[in-house]
Structure 1
């Protein structure tokens, strides 16, 4: 690709199926030949099985280089250029394995015309062997790579259209040889005219769809053939996958339900496709949105590289002017200075070119990934999509944490000439300044714009895994436990606010009770509602009865209280700056406080743009990954969103019992990726919302044993839920 070009989605997804089949999409980028048993790598690039095997095994030259350090591949960066891989025996690219059956056929019933229809073979590279993807340079550890059924089936269709016409399978069974004229799409037999007539008359096959090869090669049956292609079960190769296991999140056949997936909840492939396709589409959109950012940063580095050359030329001009004044007396010093400047600028440009090259490679990889996903989503079968979704979502999750190699300084060159004299040539010539300086505010692009985490979300489990359940009822309790607040300490312990027993309970990471306190004197707790752990590990508690916020150490010692700002404080949280945010359900406002002494920083009036109250009966508050403040409200819309500075931004949610509605929204929390969780108390469930506040799906329900969820918090991909009467349940959801 030329410098300055912007790679991205190539547009194959908008092509017709017939057009896609005639592109290089079906050629292996490793050997530049048509795919044979394409394998999908973790970086979402596909290679033929032979190419993967060649990559994963050290060459003789590599083996020799270990003993002879002076013998190196001319490609010093270790990457394998596109097109240099060749199959071990291209002449046997489309082989037909022998069949030992006695039916007279010379090939497996699933293999004909050189096309392996449904063999789920996978490459198993040596464990621990690391090789590099020849397209993006990603380091890949040897493992079992899945067959890319999407590409395999497209190659099969291409072979039907452009490959040699096969012989009739039925005639071969009787020892005859005749050219096939048709293909049965249901049983995938190749048949001649006479056998085709018999095929249509036979009771078992009269309903099959038979396609003439003449019309197949004209492209008239492309979509019919695709409709009949389906991957076989990885564990039962003779069976097609028709079901989707909700628990394991993989496609299975009917036999799997009596073995490895016995008792698991399943649905049809058709029913499962929409939600996973929608998830992939969202991930793809986020991926595509990152491509211009990388291109922009490449242009930024290119501009700096060009400015280095401009600065060098200007400095050379100054040197020449000074040198002409001093004549030959300073020629030697001039040349030494030029050499020094040239060396530093060359090093700087080399460094920038290396970074640009690396970014362009990452940009190509993202573009390739997006291109592949677009094609898969546009033309892939549901079974193909589901059979690959684990690897796809894992790769996209990796991109969520992608860190790009940027720069923190840039080379600055400067020359300050002095008044020439005949003494001390070095002093007369001037002072040269060479060194890196931090990027200034005028630099229009920073690495902050390159973050992928705001758009690429890791997949949420269809069924979150329960990791811990414990009761918060203690011997000191005189009433039923009502855990209205929960927070997680730095040592992964749990802190619970028990409203009705008027105390705070601290538990270890495994749910064992460590401490119960209710304060004394000025710090006596009246009616606690919610709590949060401050950056210094202290615990801040809203006290509705005392109309204040009390701050304690983790050992229960009272520190200070925040008074005079509240009538009925409920939810409490902290923002990225560690400031305390409290929502007041009577004043219908939020206040922000300094965590050191509780002094008021600002008040958020909680009003709409027209001046009316945005809050009606607010309960809990949380801060999302971009600093926006989210408040749950029993009035619909149920979620109100404010900017970090307090501007009212948006609202979402309706009142009811449907999947996208709530009866009584209680706890709310947001994870590091932007996922939003809301406790729907009266509907006995926790709802999962997208970062923009739009409903995604119910994450936990009564089917998961949930009962009247109250407070929520999340950390390290785990969700903590308190229930009425004191149960605490912890789930891993990613």
Structure 2
């Protein structure tokens, strides 16, 4: 009933004899005669003499016998159950480890909460003490003023008491001589006003705090060892560290044979050299922004400076000099098997304005600085990142076409424009090739790494968003380990641990 199966011939399962008498689809009047090894289909006698004339074929009896034997051996393989048991044991161990990690993480979160609560309580006590100290100081001033006011009160009452007695007992001569001065003294006492210093309020000015501020202070949950799987390989993120210029885009990476890595924090004009454990070997600031980086085994580094329209070389001390000035803007870099530098050229340094960025191409630069165009295709507009696979095919991450192209001998053999099951959009960035010939491309739309076949056919997603945040650049070292740079200045080293 399915549309996919409407042209197929079907038989009842119990009717074995009829199934053995199946006929050729092309020649229904002919029974199936042989099996074509090249095309992996059963053919009739006519097909064998025409379309499959030059192909290797086998008769069903001998081929079925051979396959039955292999199948039987596989079913009786002694490692079948042991492999499952081992896998189950590992699964149980992983489950137990997961619970241990869960308990440890929750304990650390609780401890962090208690620590922050202690900090809050300490700040609360300090602020309350500050208020109480101010109140005590002001109370002391009020007490002093109250003492002075009491003394003044006694003084005024004494003067009025004396004046009453003077008015009663003094004669006309005393009144005439002293009454005027006494009245002035009393008037002065009446006019003199004493009042305490006025304080309107003791206010507390609180700083504005939002939940994101508290979350930043509190911390975040970070799975420190995410698992990656490439084809039949398995990777662990063995270490992660941050560039000295935090929250900056890692534009390019180049791993060295001594397990170190050169990192371009291109927009900040910073070039850094790190060990695997994140220890910094060298940090230097150049005069202009950098884009991509690649190097030879002898330590010679090439860096594209698209805004300056030049390629520079860097020595082991981080000192740079101009290697080649170019007419157009160099972006993606790669090295071919002869040691020549392959460069992706574009007309504008930025790819946001697509008006004049319609002619991207690849050129090869020899050690003698000879420049020759090696690939030009109307499909390629902005070859911002490139990689060379083990079969010498060229992989291009096009940031305007939003696609990954694969070219072999200047012929396009594959194009990947994303997987609709993952997202409606696909925004490629960094790209590299594995030793097996697979392609890994960074997709910033889904914050993930896509694994492609050598001809750009999607296989699966390599890492989810919870594992590596905001990936942007990627490179592979000689041992098939991965280096991943992010939008926020993080470097992740994922080492190959097994198959």
Question: Shorter chain as normaliser: what TM range?
Answer: 0.5 to 0.7
CA pair 500-634 structure 1, distance change in 2 beyond 3 A: closer
Secondary structure at 1:500 match in 2: helix
CA contact (8 A) 1:653 1:660 kept: no
Measure how far apart 1:471 and its partner are.
0.7
Alignment of 1:81-120 (within 5 A): none
Mark the runs of 5 or more structure 1 residues left unpaired by the alignment: 1-6, 28-34, 41-145, 150-230, 236-249, 266-456, 608-612
Match of 1:659 in 2: 422
Measure how far apart 1:561 and its partner are.
2.0
Alignment of 1:398-437 (within 5 A): none
- Counterpart selection for 2:239 from 465, 468, 480: 468
Give CA-to-partner distance per residue, 1:202-256, whole Å, 9 cap, x none: xxxxxxxxxxxxxxxxxxxxxxxxxxxxx99637xxxxxxxxxxxxxx3x39xx8
Match of 2:370 in 1: 599
State yes or no: 1:532 paired with 2:294: yes
Match of 2:315 in 1: 553
Alignment of 1:287-298 (within 5 A): none
CA pair 38-507 structure 1, distance change in 2 beyond 3 A: same
State yes or no: 1:499 paired with 2:262: no
The CA distance in 2 between the partners of 1:24 and 1:707, in whole Å, is 46
Measure how far apart 1:263 and its partner are.
6.7
Match of 1:623 in 2: 388
Match of 1:331 in 2: none
CA contact (8 A) 2:438 2:451 kept: yes
CA pair 555-706 structure 1, distance change in 2 beyond 3 A: same
CA contact (8 A) 2:249 2:489 kept: yes
- Counterpart selection for 1:639 from 379, 390, 404: 404
Secondary structure at 1:261 match in 2: helix
State yes or no: 1:515 paired with 2:276: no
Measure how far apart 1:702 and its partner are.
1.2
The CA distance in 2 between the partners of 1:232 and 1:590, in whole Å, is 48
Alignment of 1:626-705 (within 5 A): 626-636=391-401, 638-643=403-408, 647-655=410-418, 658-659=421-422, 663-703=426-466, 705=467
Measure how far apart 1:38 and its partner are.
4.9
Higher CA-based Rg: 2
Secondary structure at 1:621 match in 2: strand
Give CA-to-partner distance per residue, 1:143-187, whole Å, 9 cap, x none: xxx2x46xxxxxxxxxxxxxxxxxxxxxxxxxxxxxxxxxxxxxx
Give CA-to-partner distance per residue, 1:237-279, whole Å, 9 cap, x none: xxxxxxxxxxxxx3x39xx8666634769xxxxxxxxxxxxxx
CA contact (8 A) 1:685 1:702 kept: yes
Secondary structure at 2:318 match in 1: coil
Measure how far apart 1:626 and its partner are.
0.8
The CA distance in 1 between the partners of 2:405 and 2:84, in whole Å, is 47
Q: TM-score, normalised by structure 2?
A: 0.53
The CA distance in 2 between the partners of 1:708 and 1:532, in whole Å, is 22
Secondary structure at 1:528 match in 2: coil
State yes or no: 1:261 paired with 2:99: no
Measure how far apart 1:507 and its partner are.
0.9
Match of 1:726 in 2: 489
CA pair 657-725 structure 1, distance change in 2 beyond 3 A: farther
The CA distance in 2 between the partners of 1:547 and 1:538, in whole Å, is 20
CA contact (8 A) 1:663 1:680 kept: yes
Alignment of 1:447-486 (within 5 A): 459-461=232-234, 464-472=235-243, 474=244, 477=245, 480-486=247-253
CA pair 732-12 structure 1, distance change in 2 beyond 3 A: farther
The CA distance in 2 between the partners of 1:548 and 1:508, in whole Å, is 28
Mark the runs of 5 or more structure 2 residues left unpaired by the alignment: 1-55, 100-229, 348-358
Instruction: Count residues in correspondence.
Output: 300
The CA distance in 2 between the partners of 1:668 and 1:38, in whole Å, is 43
Measure how far apart 1:643 and its partner are.
3.0
Q: TM-score, normalised by structure 1?
A: 0.37
CA contact (8 A) 1:660 1:695 kept: no
Measure how far apart 1:678 and its partner are.
0.3
The CA distance in 2 between the partners of 1:549 and 1:485, in whole Å, is 14
Measure how far apart 1:493 and its partner are.
0.8
The CA distance in 2 between the partners of 1:500 and 1:636, in whole Å, is 23
Alignment of 1:197-236 (within 5 A): 234=85
CA contact (8 A) 2:407 2:414 kept: no
Judging by fraction of residues, say which structure has more strand.
Answer: 2
Give CA-to-partner distance per residue, 1:8-31, whole Å, 9 cap, x none: 999799749xx976x69758xxxx
Alignment of 1:66-81 (within 5 A): none
The CA distance in 1 between the partners of 2:62 and 2:401, in whole Å, is 40
CA pair 537-260 structure 1, distance change in 2 beyond 3 A: closer
The CA distance in 1 between the partners of 2:270 and 2:402, in whole Å, is 32
Measure how far apart 1:584 and its partner are.
1.7
The CA distance in 1 between the partners of 2:275 and 2:344, in whole Å, is 28
The CA distance in 2 between the partners of 1:606 and 1:554, in whole Å, is 34
Measure how far apart 1:654 and its partner are.
2.0
CA contact (8 A) 1:653 1:662 kept: no
CA pair 26-603 structure 1, distance change in 2 beyond 3 A: closer
Give CA-to-partner distance per residue, 1:439-494, whole Å, 9 cap, x none: xxxxxxxxxxxxxxxxxx97133xx311111111x2xx4x8421110001121211
The CA distance in 2 between the partners of 1:233 and 1:599, in whole Å, is 58
Give CA-to-partner distance per residue, 1:685-727, whole Å, 9 cap, x none: 0111112221110011113x21221111112121111010110
State yes or no: 1:588 paired with 2:360: yes
Measure how far apart 1:511 and its partner are.
1.7
